[in-house]
Amino acid sequence: MTTVETLNDFYQHKFNWLPENLSNDIGHFNVFRTEEFMGANAKTPPKYSRRDFYKISLVRGHNVYHYGEKSIEIDGMALIFFNPQVPYTIEHISPDWQGYFCIFRESFFTDIVRGHLSEMPMLIPGGNPSYILNAAQYDYVGQIFEKMLAEIKSDYKFKYDLLRNYVTELFHYAMKIEPAQALYKHPDANSRITAVFTELLERQFPIESPSQRFTLRSASDFAERLAVHVNHLNRAIRKTTGKTTTDHILERLTNEAIALLKHTDWNVSEISYCLGFEEPSHFNNFFKKQTANAPSAYRIV
């Protein structure tokens, strides 16, 4: 690695043309579908180098990201943030990779926001640049990129203000789906995993409407979200708390069920549905097993 790839290099290598607004003082921004760079459209192979611009990628497929001193293998879906100070390249393992990415200079943001970019957990040196997504999360982030693609082609006078908001939403969405800070506040791996598990569990509550669903209901659900083996998750939580992963889930679910029975006028069918039970009878059996009482015993008359 001897040079830094500039935006001029990027456009010349990939498209053999330069956009008109590349030198604007407001900072450059552009967004693409990854499929545009497959096959014949990929003019040159990627290089392991620094860039003079930020990049945010939404990816689907089997890829290896060489980022600084790390190599991150992702076989699935992820949102990845690239810092101009850290060299990187992408190695595509599967032929059917797809997704989106946007690129921008730091000057694209206002002075106030610009000062905080380097403090973002996904951009700090040694931070976590990649966020594993499930299918619903991938679709949600994909919709943000589709809005960017539509907006950048529009004639709206303030479209770049709107595009800044979309980019900011990507940063905040990543921080919401994976509480990165919790990974570094605890003395060992077991307590770190337990802290993240607890935050993911608590984030599903309170249940505020009958249409809301409690979706992470089993140890395997949490293990998949945390990208660890379920046995590893169970051992970490038991060692840290003395309880099993399932104990924590059932205890929190029971407490929420009691709160809903006491403080809402929802019927048992509505409560059982939002807590993830397909049938009210399943909820009744669960509740009696956990409390030794029927749900009706907690209704305030």
B/e letters for 59-88, b = 16+ CB within 10 Å, e = fewer, are: bbbbbebebeeeeeebeebbbbbbbbebbb
CATH of the domain at 226: 1.10.10.60
3-class DSSP assignment, residue 29? strand
Q: Say whether pLDDT at 301 is over 80.
A: no
CA R_g for the chain: 23
Direct distance between the N- and C-terminal alpha carbons of the chain, in angstroms, rounded to an integer: 73
Mean pLDDT of 21-26: 55
SS (H, E, C) 189-225: HHHHHHHHHHHHHHCCCCCCCCCCCCCCCCHHHHHHH
Residues 114 and 132 in one domain: yes
Residues 8 and 131 in one domain: yes
**Among 178, 201, 235, which residue terminates a domain?**
178
For all residues of the chain together, what is the average pLDDT? 82
CA-based nearest residue to 11, from 3, 22, 2: 22
pLDDT in tens, 192-241: 788 888 888 888 888 888 888 888 889 999 988 887 889 999 999 999 99
Mean pLDDT of 75-86: 87
Quick one: pLDDT at residue 125?
63
Quick one: pLDDT at residue 2?
45
Tokens for 166, please give them.
């979309």
Task: Report which of residues 112 and 218 the model is more confident about.
Answer: 218
Residues 174 and 238 in one domain: no
Residues 20 and 144 in one domain: yes
Task: Report the percentage of the chain scoring pLDDT > 90.
Answer: 38
List C-alpha distances in Å: 182 to 70, 222, 223.
21, 16, 16
174 Rama class: left (phi>0) / alpha (psi -120 to 50) / beta: alpha
Please state which of the ranges 15-19, 84-88, 191-195, 257-261 shows the lowest mean pLDDT: 15-19
Q: Say whether pLDDT at 165 is over 90.
A: yes
**Among 135, 160, 178, which residue terminates a domain?**
178
Please state which of the ranges 100-104, 163-167, 197-201 shows the lowest mean pLDDT: 197-201
Q: How far is CA 73 from the centre of its chain?
A: 16
d(CA 137, CA 85): 28
Residues 266 and 172 in one domain: no
Task: Report the percentage of the chain scoring pLDDT > 70.
Answer: 81
Task: Report which of residues 185 and 277 the model is more confident about.
Answer: 277
3-class DSSP assignment, residue 239? helix
Domain that holds residue 136: 4-178
What's the one-letter identity of residue 48? Y
Number of domains in the chain: 2
Residues 153 and 273 in one domain: no
pLDDT in tens, 39-71: 544 445 566 677 888 999 999 998 888 876 667
Residues 130 and 204 in one domain: no
**Among 117, 147, 178, which residue terminates a domain?**
178
